[in-house]
């Protein structure tokens, strides 16, 4: 298994040179304590924890997996101890409000932390990751009493959290939810039903688990309009807030999965379990989107992590493995053959992994900055500004989740390809990355679901408002850099693709007026086109920063030169893939829908 090494130089380049996090932090209240020295110390400490504690447990956890007995789950050897170290170091509360025991630092620092953790050991990172989503939901939508009762222990890490949506009869279509919530007349509800695919539903990390559950009251309207959200603790709380008697919620089984073996994926039964309403009746889906969007951003991190870890495994192998001679002439005459890395096709695969990992990281950090501003507005009670940033982040969320997980899975497969037959063997660890990465395109809404969300809800129903908001940023960049000599080739391509993006969006909208299936027929290709263009924008920003730093540095600057050359590779070899998606998304749905069901 590749030993994870945190890419701190690349992280520092993004937060210092590309995005100027220090200037950003000066504009938000949570950034007051986030000095450059503090941020660097946090990143170094997190990198050390991920490299020394989590990375070594990645492959062993995959081999051992979770075990289930008598409704209890035991995590792989060493995982609980690593979590205790995580708690002792205060990582769970890094970006949580100080009033609940957190450190009150910007949310974006928590995102960078999560990226390191997720790349080092994705399965382990899902446990605190799900808890983070539960904390955010309670923080934004819970009552003052719920925040007081549950957040301090969750922020500390003594208690964990889950998201309970899916049921046996429904996945993404939450309008089919059947779990019932009956008012007990004493301020609570009796929750009855079965939830499946519940990550971290049961484990041995913490003394209590707080389930965030979608359910329907007896007189609720049909469909999504009748869904409410409830907080259901594994253990009730005593008079002093301590863990008391067991609630009637149990794990019935855990799934045997293709990958992420160290993460417990549970079937959860609620047998009249006591729950407490979060937010208003029948507004559960609105509240739950806080959790879902947190999870979707988290899933995009898995895409980046898959690209990064696959690259970190592939690069040393490509340098060490001898195979054939270079077509342009022998490169290593003292050896029996030349290294794999001399071959153009191997370089294509390595550069693809590198471009997707580093480009995805830039996209993620940009989104994290928006989340910082959004939470800052919420904390100040400026709900109008909060909604504006929420919409801005909402436009990017399906692109981040779907595009970065699709490219992450592609990168993982390229890692196996570089290893050849050895990539198919467990001991090298590359096949584990593929297996673990595969789920990322499925959960929190498949690629197809994310694509419909982007094109149908965010773009067309939103009347292009958030689309125009994001593309305006690209237009400004193009305008201010069009006369920059070094940037001209990239700017020319970026301008052309931006024009095609707008034209194609309007064309699909017109097609949809005649045939609504045109949206479904175009959506995935539209999302992939959007992803390639969005990543091109961030690669152009990175190239611009690298050119500037390259000029300012004295002597050879291999890091900035590598960044520039990777940007050139992206524009030359990866961005052209957007054109095939453009062609397909304008074909309409006729060729997809002509065939009668009986002919399949």
Domain residue extents for the chain:
289-449, 459-594
Strand partners, 189: 183, 275
The single residue listed with the structure tokens 């550069």 is 351
pLDDT digits (tens, 9 = 90+) for 415-430: 999 999 999 999 999 9
CA 191 to chain centre: 30
Residue 172 has pLDDT above 90, yes or no: no
Burial class of 600 by CB neighbour count within 10 A (0 to 12, 13 to 18, 19+) = exposed
CA dihedral 358, 290, 461, 361 (to 10 degrees): 0
Closest of 457, 483, 448 to residue 394, by C-alpha:
457
CA distance 498 to 467: 11
Contacts of 324 (CB under 8 A, 6+ apart): 337, 338, 343
- The string of pLDDT tens digits covering residues 189-240 is 999 999 999 999 999 999 999 999 999 999 999 988 999 999 999 999 999 8
pLDDT tens-digit readout, 484-535? 889 999 999 999 999 999 999 999 999 999 999 999 999 999 999 999 999 9
Map tokens 């079937």 to a residue: 267
Residue 594: pLDDT band by 50, 70, 90 thresholds? very high
Q: Which of 396, 337, 334 is nearest to 363 (CA)?
A: 396
* SS3 per residue for 495-533: HHHHHHHHHHHHHHHHHHHHCCHHHHHHHHHHHHHHHHH
Question: In 246-338, which residue ranges form alpha helices assigned H by DSSP?
Answer: 284-320
CATH architecture assignment, domain 289-449: Up-down Bundle (1.20)
Q: Which residue is associated with the tokens 């989503």?
A: 133
Q: Is 444 a catalytic residue?
A: yes
Separation CA 240–CA 148 (nearest Å): 12
- pLDDT above 90: residue 482: no
Q: Which of 100-104, 209-213, 290-294, 400-404 has the lowest mean pLDDT?
A: 290-294
Is there a contact between 401 and 297 (Cβ–Cβ < 8 Å)?
yes
CA-CA distance, 317 to 480, in Å (whole number)?
41
How many angstroms separate the CA atoms of 297 and 312, rounded?
23
CA 289 to chain centre: 15
**What's the pLDDT score for residue 393?**
93
Q: How confident is the model at residue 409 (pLDDT cuts 50, 70, 90)?
A: very high
265: which 2 tokens?
């994926």
Element containing residue 194 per DSSP (H, E): strand 189-199
Q: Which of 167, 444, 572, 597 is catalytic?
A: 444
Give exposure, 22-50, as e/b (b: 16+ Cβ within 10 Å): eebbeebebbeebeeeebeebbeebbebb
Tell me the pTM.
0.96
For residue 142 the two structure tokens come to: 């819970």
pLDDT of 59-78, one tens digit each? 999 999 999 999 999 999 99
Q: d(Cα 548, Cα 584) in Å, to the nearest integer?
A: 38
| pLDDT-derived band at 171, boundaries 50, 70, 90 | confident
- In this predicted structure, which of 287-301, 309-323, 549-563 has the lowest mean pLDDT? 287-301
Residue 480 exposure: Cα atoms within 13 Å on the Cβ side: 9
Whole-number pLDDT of residue 555: 58
Report the alpha-carbon distance of residue 416 to residue 422 in Å, rounded.
8
């Amino acid at each position: 298994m590749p030993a994870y090494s945190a890419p701190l130089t690349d992280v520092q380049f993004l937060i210092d040179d590309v995005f100027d996090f220090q200037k950003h932090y000066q504009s938000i209240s949570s950034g007051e304590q986030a000095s450059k020295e503090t941020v660097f110390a946090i990143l170094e400490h997190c990198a050390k924890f991920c490299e020394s504690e989590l990375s070594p447990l990645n492959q062993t956890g995959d081999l051992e997996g979770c075990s289930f007995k008598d409704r209890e789950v035991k995590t792989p050897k060493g995982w609980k101890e690593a979590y205790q170290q995580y708690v002792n170091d205060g990582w769970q509360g890094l970006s949580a409000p100080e009033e609940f025991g957190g450190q009150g630092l910007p949310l974006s620092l928590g995102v960078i932390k999560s990226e390191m953790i997720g790349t080092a050991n994705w399965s382990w990172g899902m446990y605190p990751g799900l808890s983070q989503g539960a904390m955010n939901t309670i923080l934004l939508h819970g009552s003052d009493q719920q925040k007081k009762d549950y957040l301090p222990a969750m922020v500390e890490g003594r208690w964990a959290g889950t998201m309970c949506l899916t049921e046996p009869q429904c996945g993404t279509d939450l309008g089919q939810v059947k779990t019932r919530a009956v008012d007990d007349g004493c301020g609570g509800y009796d929750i009855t039903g079965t939830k499946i695919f519940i990550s971290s539903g049961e484990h041995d990390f913490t003394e209590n688990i707080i389930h965030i559950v979608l359910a329907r009251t007896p007189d609720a309207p049909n469909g999504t309009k009748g869904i409410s959200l409830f907080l259901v603790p594994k253990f009730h709380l005593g008079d002093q807030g301590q863990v008391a008697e067991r609630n009637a919620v149990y794990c019935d089984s855990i799934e045997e999965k293709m990958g992420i073996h160290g993460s417990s994926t549970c079937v959860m039964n609620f047998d009249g379990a006591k729950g407490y309403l979060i937010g208003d009746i029948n507004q559960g889906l609105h509240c739950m989107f806080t959790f879902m969007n947190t999870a979707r951003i988290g899933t995009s991190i898995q895409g980046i992590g898959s690209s990064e870890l696959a690259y970190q495994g592939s690069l040393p192998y490509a340098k060490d493995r001898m195979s054939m001679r270079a077509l342009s002439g022998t490169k290593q005459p003292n050896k029996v053959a030349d290294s794999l890395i001399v071959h153009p096709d191997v370089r294509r695969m390595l550069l693809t992994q590198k471009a997707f990992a580093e480009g995805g990281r830039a996209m993620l950090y940009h989104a994290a900055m928006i989340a910082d501003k959004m939470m800052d507005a919420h904390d100040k009670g400026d709900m109008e500004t909060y909604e504006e940033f929420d919409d801005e982040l909402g436009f990017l969320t399906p692109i981040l989740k779907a595009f970065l997980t699709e490219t992450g899975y592609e990168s993982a497969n390229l890692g196996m390809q570089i290893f050849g037959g050895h990539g198919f063997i467990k001991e090298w660890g590359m096949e584990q990355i593929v297996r673990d990465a595969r789920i990322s395109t499925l959960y929190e809404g498949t690629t197809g679901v994310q694509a419909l969300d982007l094109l149908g809800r965010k773009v067309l129903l939103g009347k292009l408002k958030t689309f125009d908001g994001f593309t305006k940023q690209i237009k400004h960049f193009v305008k201010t850099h069009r006369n920059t000599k070094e940037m001209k080739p990239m700017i020319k391509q970026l301008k052309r693709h931006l024009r095609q993006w707008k034209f194609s969006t309007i064309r699909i909208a017109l097609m949809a007026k005649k045939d609504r299936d045109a949206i479904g027929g175009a959506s995935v290709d539209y999302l992939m086109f959007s992803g390639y263009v969005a990543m091109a924008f961030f690669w152009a920003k990175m190239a611009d920063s690298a050119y500037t730093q390259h000029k300012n540095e004295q002597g050879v600057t291999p890091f900035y030169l590598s960044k520039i050359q990777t940007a050139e590779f992206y524009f030359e070899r990866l961005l052209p893939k957007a054109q095939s998606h453009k062609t397909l998304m304008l074909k309409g749905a006729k060729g997809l829908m002509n065939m009668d069901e009986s002919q399949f």
